[in-house]
Structure 1
Amino acid sequence: MSVAAPPAADPAADTLTLRVLQRRVAAIYANYPSNFAARLAFLALVAPVVYLQFQDWRVPVLLAVQLPVNLFCLFVVPRWTPAEPLADSPVWASRLTRVAMLLGAADALIPALLVTAGNEMVTMLLTVLLMGNCMRVVQSLRPLMAPMLWCALPMMLSLIVSLAWQATTLHLLLATYVAVFLAMALGVGVRENRELSETLMLRFEKEGLAARLNEKIAAVEQASAEKTRFLATASHDLRQPMHAIALFGAAMQQALRDHPEGRNAERLMRAVDALGTSLDAMLDVSRLDAGVITAAPRAIELDTLLLALNQVFLPQAGQKSLQLRVRASGLWVHSDPHLLYRMLSNLLDNALKYTRHGGVTVIARPRGEQVWLEVRDTGIGIVPQQLERIFEEFYQIDNPGRDRARGLGIGLSIVQRLARLLGHTVQVRSRPGRGTRFRLVLPLAEAQETSEPTMLELPPELRSTPVLRGRVLLVDDEAEIRSAMTQLLGAHGIAVEAVASEAEARTALARCDEEGSAIAVLMCDYRLAGEDGLAVGQRLRERCALEAPLLIVTGETSPERLQHVRASGVPVLFKPVSAQTLLRTLAELSSATAPKP
């Protein structure tokens, strides 16, 4: 015959009970000095009555009992302190109960010895004093039920019995009044004890919930930080070889421009560009989370921005036989043109990916002090259960196989982050099988007669790329990067001094001085064999009196390091860098520091 094991105790519940008990004990000991002072005042009022009215054996008996009991409780009984262990709380509660029993027994002798017949004034005076003492006991010991009862009941029951024992009308009435009073006083004490218990339980339960919530929040923040570090490390490690591939590929494409194999080089570069786009998207998320991207809102004309979007996405729509309608509005909004362009680019790209028939429409409408800028499509739509998740990172609808042609699933996450940065609102409404509408709520701006041109980050094929003629000092600890950069820039007629360390860079600078050839741009990788490339570049410029501008090239996506680079004010390119972007940046830096004729 087997016996079922008793259920295991809940450690959390046991701890909660101990904490409540500890607070009750603490409440009583906090008032222990003042409570005992009130007790001594009570005895001081009783003493003259005893001495003046009863000059017999009762005086030494009461003195022999009260004096040692009160001295013991005042000087011998240990005092609780907050340093006492939580597990010892039951011991302290039991100690209080024993002290209360001792005091209750001592006080029970007072009515037993002093309530007599034929001395009504003394009896009524003692009754009033004992009732007052009872209220003091109930108020001071109500946090713990046992001490309260053991201290109050012996004294008051002794008073009731002593009054009733005299059997006179006055004494019986007094006994009745005292009994009613005792019931009411204990009722108040019991109720307050229960309320205190419930209050403490709720308080500690809330504290426990708050502590668990903080633990969950800390765990989520830690997981988020670990995810960010993982993405940063993975992105950096991927960008290093990707950067070399992009540079070698660009050099090969330049060399095979008029060769039959040139088409294969173009295909290679398209694949490299696609992978670079994916890495750049992850970088955008890291930069937004790090606060590196800042908004510069101003009044911009929507039609200019929408025209640029139409030029970029019209070929993509044509390849899928979709209609792309971008309606002019003549409206102006207050926003950052670069970031707003990026938001609309992501929304349009998303709409075209998930639309098989029909088309995509972009329309802007004024609504009071706002402008509703909407991207509508006739695509597959989104079920209501997924609407809340579409802004999550790497979440894609109906793409379990992670088809690369459908993107990474972070475009809408970037849109939401940019909207928060700009203070815009993103709204979405969708009907499965009918299409989706994304709405950006933008602040309306007054039309400007003369305004700055709306600078947009258009694709490289829509911009001309200047060519740099000059010498570049490259500091990179990876031989493949140095070789690829030398080939690429050499194919465009740019001389390169490629070195692996700061010491080699100083040697190269000294050699260039001897040859009389100036350095146009100093380009450093951010990670240089454990060193900070930014610090290396700044030291080279300072110690070697180098006037050439510094350019940092990095594959970092860590938010902390991105903030560090941004705070320096040094221009930075993120790997993999396209040949066109690299050449244009070098030309801009060189021309900015070139002497004016």
Structure 2
Amino acid sequence: MASSEISDDIRRGLDEAATGIGVWDRGGRLIYANRLFRTLFLLDRQLREELSYRRFLDHVAGSHELILEGTIERWVEDRHAAFGQETSFEQPMADGRTLQVDDRALPQGGMTTTVSDVSNVRRIESALRKAKADAETSDQAKSRFLRAANHDLRQPLATLKILIFSCMGEEDLQHRGDLLHTMDISVSIMEDLLGALLQIGQLDAGRIAARITTFQLDSILDRLRIQFAHLAQEKGITLRIVGTRFAVVSDKALLERILSNIVANAVRYTDVGSVLVVCRARGAGVDIEVRDTGRGIESQHHAYIFDEFFQVPNTRRTKRPGLGLGLNIVKRVADILEHPIRLRSEPGRGSVFTVSVSIGDVWQSELAEPEISEAKGGEFAGLSVMLVEDDPELRRATHELLERWGMRVLAVASIAEALGSLGTQTLPRLVIADYSLNQELGTDAVHRLREATGSAIPAFIMTAEIDPAVVARIKAEGFSVLIKPVSPPRLRVLMHNLIFEPPAPTSAPTVDTP
């Protein structure tokens, strides 16, 4: 049926079709092409007159609109030889599109060619395949992560169970003290792992957001010096942290986390010699270098050193091996801050980790913030404190700890108990409240106590919540926050600051994490 024999209604309908349609008679002559077919293959009216299939193939192949395998001549010959046969193939185009071409034989001879643009479908399929591969990779990584975490948690837990059993029947005080010391180490290992897992969880959930400011780099270096001096001294190595006048642009807490993890690794794996932290100007930035004279890392391990739970194979193990998470946290936090990290290391010659940070304008740097230093002790003997904690075991343990520090402790489980005790007890010098108290909030407990006494009793909140929104909500109410599990030194320091060195009304509340 010639194109002229098709009614105008049918022709208009076919011209609106989303598929290109071309019809060839048994002699290979084009007898009909709808609008999309003509547009796809650039067929003007003059070209369509008496257009043979062979001439059509020469035209589209010579237009360079198609991406062909092999030569133009070979492609034309192969397609021409397949005229009248049932064929289906995808044809990539030079502009990035993909066309689905289907040839179907007609009963009376000849064939129809239909052409569809499947570019979006293929892109979606490709994206789905990539997403599936990424998900499988992520699942495998999470499975490895959980297996390693389970292993690393079970080891100190098993040790702890044995030690507790042994300690219960031990009458030798010195041996019992040794057992308790080993138990403390096991608990510390578990605390380190849980803290690292919490940080990994925050990173995975995208809950860590950078707060970029300009600040004096020396304020972080001073804290690192206090944090690691004792550990280095115990190992018999030298820790030297060179002060600097640089102001840098970064998130202060996150940059400190990066450097703290790197220095911790350097101290852990340096048996003899020293660890040096030094800052060097480089263009518009500053390189913070952590140098050690430790065991060093072979080049084949450099690509994996920042992977979760990766530990460099080494026959000389430390008494307390690492968890394989510190450097992974370093890399992921550095990526958030866009701080490049470089590693130079050779076995037997130590390692140099370098973190590059932008230099800031010293006149725009923050004023010195009050730092929490564990060197501040505080004398609590005879002071009264109210503990609002609904977990009975934690309430009892914290009660005993505070009493050992010489304090008079009133431990309650609810707001009602706290308010009911006011008439029989001395007004507390400090209130420590858990945030989640069954159906109540620790912040409400403090507010109610302050209203009832007419006194702005110093107080802070302890919580196991790591959601930044929850922490921000607590801080917005004017409270400092301790994230559980709370170590006694952190607890003691914050208590000392609130009782003996209360912050000025304009000072921001602090948040301290394990």
**Conserved? CA contact 2:17–2:36, under 8 Å:** no
**2-side partners of 1:239 and 1:578: how far apart?**
18
Structure with a larger share of its residues in strand: 2
Q: Does 1:474 align with 2:383?
A: no
- Cross-structure match for 1:30: none
Q: Does 1:567 align with 2:462?
A: no
- Cross-structure match for 2:168: none
- Say which structure, 1 or 2, has more relative contact order (CA 8 Å, 6+ apart): 1
The alignment's TM-score, normalised by the length of structure 2, stands at 0.63
**Conserved? CA contact 2:153–2:193, under 8 Å:** no
Moved more, 329-338 or 420-429: 329-338
Of residues 310, 319, 335 in structure 2, which corresponds to 1:420? Answer: 335
The secondary structure found in structure 2 opposite 1:398 is coil
For residue 489 of structure 1, report the CA deviation from its aligned partner: 1.9
**Conserved? CA contact 1:476–1:498, under 8 Å:** no
Pairing 1:189-588 to 2, within 5 Å after superposition = 197-198=90-91, 199-200=98-99, 203=119, 204-219=121-136, 269=184, 271-289=186-204, 290-292=206-208, 294-295=210-211, 297-300=213-216, 302=218, 305-306=220-221, 309-310=224-225, 312-328=227-243, 330-398=245-313, 405-445=320-360, 452-453=367-368, 458=373, 460=374, 462-465=375-378, 467=380, 469-477=383-391, 479-500=392-413, 502=414, 505-506=415-416, 508-515=417-424, 517-518=426-427, 521-526=430-435, 528=437, 531=438, 535-540=440-445, 545=451, 548=457, 551-556=460-465, 561-569=467-475, 570-588=479-497
**Conserved? CA contact 1:292–1:563, under 8 Å:** no
Output the amino acid matched with 2:294.
Answer: G
For residue 213 of structure 1, report the CA deviation from its aligned partner: 1.0
The secondary structure found in structure 2 opposite 1:380 is coil
**1-side partners of 2:447 and 2:301: how far apart?**
56
- Cross-structure match for 1:137: 32
For residue 485 of structure 1, report the CA deviation from its aligned partner: 1.9
**1-side partners of 2:471 and 2:147: how far apart?**
20
**2-side partners of 1:331 and 1:573: how far apart?**
30
Output the amino acid matched with 2:407.
Answer: I
**2-side partners of 1:325 and 1:475: how far apart?**
42
Pairing 1:144-163 to 2, within 5 Å after superposition = none
Output the amino acid matched with 1:577.
Answer: V
For residue 397 of structure 1, report the CA deviation from its aligned partner: 0.7
For residue 408 of structure 1, report the CA deviation from its aligned partner: 0.9
CA distance 1:484–1:316, shift in 2 (3 Å): closer
CA distance 1:222–1:527, shift in 2 (3 Å): farther
Output the amino acid matched with 1:565.
Answer: V
**1-side partners of 2:246 and 2:48: how far apart?**
87
Which deviations, in whole Å up to 9, do the C-alpha atoms of 1:29-69 show, x marking residues without a partner? xxxxxxx9x95xx45xxxxxxxxxxxxxxxxxxxxxxxxx9
For residue 538 of structure 1, report the CA deviation from its aligned partner: 4.2
**Conserved? CA contact 1:394–1:408, under 8 Å:** yes
**1-side partners of 2:51 and 2:248: how far apart?**
78
CA distance 1:225–1:574, shift in 2 (3 Å): farther
**Conserved? CA contact 2:433–2:443, under 8 Å:** no
Which deviations, in whole Å up to 9, do the C-alpha atoms of 1:330-380 show, x marking residues without a partner? 544444555444433322221233334443333222223222221222333
**1-side partners of 2:318 and 2:343: how far apart?**
24
Moved more, 306-315 or 402-411: 306-315
**1-side partners of 2:491 and 2:367: how far apart?**
26
**1-side partners of 2:363 and 2:303: how far apart?**
38
Which deviations, in whole Å up to 9, do the C-alpha atoms of 1:107-156 show, x marking residues without a partner? x9xxxxxxxxxxxxxxxxxxxxxxxxx7671455959xxxxxxxxxxxxx
Output the amino acid matched with 1:182.
Answer: S
CA distance 1:552–1:446, shift in 2 (3 Å): closer
**1-side partners of 2:388 and 2:151: how far apart?**
24
The secondary structure found in structure 2 opposite 1:200 is strand
Output the amino acid matched with 2:32.
Answer: V
**2-side partners of 1:487 and 1:343: how far apart?**
35
Aligned residues: 427
CA distance 1:393–1:189, shift in 2 (3 Å): same
Output the amino acid matched with 2:482.
Answer: L
For residue 521 of structure 1, report the CA deviation from its aligned partner: 4.8
**Conserved? CA contact 1:142–1:189, under 8 Å:** no
CA distance 1:219–1:539, shift in 2 (3 Å): farther
**Conserved? CA contact 1:372–1:441, under 8 Å:** yes
Output the amino acid matched with 1:215.
Answer: K
Which deviations, in whole Å up to 9, do the C-alpha atoms of 1:217-246 show, x marking residues without a partner? 445567788999999999999999xxxxxx
Structure with a larger share of its residues in helix: 1
CA distance 1:339–1:181, shift in 2 (3 Å): closer
**2-side partners of 1:394 and 1:178: how far apart?**
68
CA distance 1:342–1:181, shift in 2 (3 Å): closer
Output the amino acid matched with 2:259.
Answer: L
Output the amino acid matched with 1:346.
Answer: N
Moved more, 425-434 or 184-193: 184-193
The secondary structure found in structure 1 opposite 2:194 is helix
Which deviations, in whole Å up to 9, do the C-alpha atoms of 1:188-233 show, x marking residues without a partner? 6886998894122573444322111123344556778899999999
CA distance 1:555–1:540, shift in 2 (3 Å): closer
Backbone CA RMSD of aligned residues: 5.4
Output the amino acid matched with 1:394.
Answer: F
**2-side partners of 1:226 and 1:567: how far apart?**
34
**1-side partners of 2:435 and 2:155: how far apart?**
15
CA distance 1:188–1:475, shift in 2 (3 Å): same
CA distance 1:467–1:270, shift in 2 (3 Å): farther
The alignment's TM-score, normalised by the length of structure 1, stands at 0.56
The secondary structure found in structure 1 opposite 2:311 is coil
- Cross-structure match for 1:182: 52
Output the amino acid matched with 1:483.
Answer: R
**1-side partners of 2:482 and 2:126: how far apart?**
47
Larger Rg: 1
Moved more, 585-594 or 511-520: 585-594
- Identical positions, percent: 26
**Conserved? CA contact 2:30–2:48, under 8 Å:** no
**2-side partners of 1:232 and 1:316: how far apart?**
25
For residue 438 of structure 1, report the CA deviation from its aligned partner: 0.9
**Conserved? CA contact 1:338–1:456, under 8 Å:** no
- Cross-structure match for 1:125: none
CA distance 1:292–1:209, shift in 2 (3 Å): closer
For structure 2, the residue ranges without an aligned partner over 5 or more in a row are 39-46, 68-88, 92-97, 101-117, 158-172, 506-514
- Cross-structure match for 1:165: none
